[in-house]
Structure 1
Amino acid sequence: MRKTNIQGNEVLSGKSSSKLVAFFQFPLVWMLMGTLGIILANVTFNSLSEDVSALGSIILTLVGSAVVIVIYWLAMKFLARRPVPELLLQRRAGSEVILGAVVGLIFISVSTALIVLLDGYSFKWSTENASSVVWPIITTSLGAAFVEELIFRGLAFQAIEKMGGSLLALTLTSLFFGIAHLGNPGATAWGALSITIEAGVLLGAAFLWRRNVWFIVSLHFFWNAIEGLLGIPVSGHSSSGLFTVEVKGPALLTGGQFGLEASIIPVIISLLIAIPMLILARRKGHLISLRKDRN
């Protein structure tokens, strides 16, 4: 009798454990828990970064970025119970960072150059103390790139993709990304729509193409950092760059107070970059459909 009771308890315990594992493996659960962990870590390190030296801010940003990577890895490994090939450091990480930097540089440089040629922007060197400008922009851009990409393309994209396929994930995360920027200074409905297309679609397509976190983080970082260094507001957030920008012409061309992202020029260029990425992702078999088994 005692042996039977023990076996029964073991069965019940096994069922409870199985249900708990299944609960945490549900995509929305690990997405929300991972997102909460990353946000809490980001808030903590942002508060620690207040009133510290430039070197201290850089160190805290690097440590904070490492922490959110670990939180993402833990959520995927122990809650979602899936491998995390998108974070592999071996072989591909360096080349993916370089490729992301090149894409980000081309995107912002071409967009800015076209607006200058259309007489929307003019630049003037604004500072002699470059280090006081460069380091804050780098730390802010790096922290934002890791946090936003791990949440939107890492957790949210892959959770939605697991439930509804790649195209649904691309659509919803792009919309969420645009809506998330509605609270930024100078934001408008058009600004949110432009962010949905340029950032949401472009970065989502970039992830589908490469299936690599380092690529999209690098692209995002260089995008924001170059804008900031040029003195252009980044999604409404203005900062002291290496240049002062004189903005002329209609907001549809220049982006107005919201900055480059609300200009029609980068919207068009982002699509010219994103569409080939999606085609390559399809050819590589990186698009997941509803009919496929998603483990």
Structure 2
Amino acid sequence: MSTNSSLAAAAARFLTAGQGIRPLELGGQRFLHPGPLRWLRALGWAVALFFLVAFAALPTAEVLGHWLPAVGPAQFAASLGGALAALAIYALAVWLAEGRWPSEIALKPLTPELAVGLLIGTAMFAAVMGIMAGFGLYEIRSLGAAPVWTAAGRAVQSGVVEEIMIRAILLRLVWRAFGPWIAFAVSAALFGFGHIANPNATVFAAICIALEAGIMLGAFYALTGRIWVSIGVHAAWNFTQGYLFGAAVSGGDFGPALASSTARPGFAEWLTGGAFGPEASLPALVVCTAVGVAVMVLAWRAGHFRKAAA
């Protein structure tokens, strides 16, 4: 075995915590059976499933948040309830309409792969802030102890719900319709420009989100064949950004934090991210895109783009 193959195998073992990688299961039965206009059926199912999950998860979290006590742990439980509702309705809908149990949310790899994703997401954002601080682009001040529940709830909900909607639904079903490259382009673009209405958003910020998260999180899914690493990276990135460092998360306030991180005045917004936060910065773009490309190469070398299409 060559050195490159050995490194790729070791990286894959780490990313899946020994669970093994597999090509995406795109779906090929019932509503997605081979035959005329499968591409159109796949797109129609993508739209229907996208809104089905959204209308299950977000109202569930809203209702639970209204009825549960207005205290930290209870509100975290409301966010967790919304995330679990998204997973449940996705699993049920795929089972009914596609005739399969969705291997992309298989339960056995959940804990180890989620843990790996959390580790990667935390390390990546810490690296971005280390670069920012090292070059004097950001001021980071400790604020002391802060309740964790708000940030944890938002991280869980955004990580689970957005990854199901963007990766498990849009990326997978557009891949079913038109192949991997159009699927990556469409899902990344929709994810990036879906943030354009956020506070302090700019076109550059949307492009950064598309390239950083859209490509990288899709790459983890394409390599492992499951969504757990992507969920872990997404949730940990947001949590580390908003709670541990107290920086703006996609232009918004993530709640109480352990620190406060703000861009120093006098630097261009494309270097610091400005009021939108570090996600719209050059260091984040470089770090996340590098990770995304590396994982895409691993998925390519494993043959997952060809096997999933077949």
- The TM-score normalised by the length of structure 2 is 0.82
Q: Map 1:262-281 onto structure 2 (within 5 A).
A: 262-281=280-299
Q: For structure 1, which segment, 260-269 or 96-105, has the greater mean C-alpha deviation from structure 2 after superposition?
A: 96-105
2:275 pairs, out of 257, 267, 279, with: 257
Partner residue, 1:101? 118
Q: 1:244 aligns with which of 257, 260, 268?
A: 260
Q: Which runs of 5+ in 2 are unaligned?
A: 1-28
Structure 1 letter corresponding to 2:197:
G
What is the aligned residue count? 271
Aligned counterpart, 2:197: 183
Cα distance in 1 between the residues matched to 2:167 and 2:153: 21
Structure number with greater Rg is 1
* Cα-Cα RMSD: 2.3
Partner SS state of residue 238, structure 1: coil
- Would you say 1:213 and 2:227 are equivalent positions? yes
Task: Specify the SS of the correspondent of 2:257.
Answer: coil
Pairing of 1:42-191 with structure 2 (within 5 A)? 42-48=57-63, 49-50=65-66, 52-90=70-108, 92-128=109-145, 130-131=146-147, 134-191=148-205
Supply the distance in 2 between the matched residues of 1:151 and 1:32 (Cα, whole angstroms). Answer: 10
* C-alpha deviation, 1:289, in angstroms: 7.8
Q: Is the 8 A contact 1:165 1:289 kept in 2?
A: no
Aligned counterparts of 1:86 and 1:236: Cα–Cα separation in 2: 30
Shift of 1:96: 0.7
Q: Secondary structure at the match of 1:123?
A: strand
Deviates more, 1:248-257 or 1:78-87: 78-87
Q: Distance between the aligned counterparts of 1:288 and 1:33, measured in 2?
A: 27
Deviation at 1:42, TM superposition (A): 2.7
State how far apart, in whole Å, the 1-side matches of 2:95 and 2:45 are. 10
The structure-2 alpha-carbon separation of the partners of 1:52 and 1:37, relative to structure 1 and needing over 3 Å to count, comes to farther
The answer to whether the Cα contact below 8 Å between 2:198 and 2:252 also exists between their aligned partners in 1 is yes
CA shift in 2, pair 1:60/1:190, >3 Å: same
Q: Alpha-carbon deviations, 1:190-218, whole Å to 9, x = none?
A: 00100110010111111111111111111
In the aligned structure 2, how far is the partner of 1:34 from the partner of 1:193?
A: 26
Aligned match of 1:226 in 236, 240, 249? 240
Q: Distance in 2 between matches of 1:236 and 1:32?
A: 27
| Identity value in percent | 24
Partner of 2:20: none
Q: Does the 8 Å CA contact 2:46/2:174 hold for their aligned counterparts? A: no
Normalized against structure 1, the TM-score is what? Answer: 0.85
Greater alpha carbon shift after TM alignment, 37-46 vs 100-109? 37-46
**How far does residue 21 in structure 1 lie from its aligned partner after superposition?**
8.3
SS at match of 2:262: strand
Matched with 2:44 is 29
Judging changes above 3 Å, is the alpha-carbon distance between structure 1 residues 252 and 200 closer, same or farther for their aligned structure 2 residues? same
Larger displacement relative to structure 2 (178-187 or 241-250): 241-250
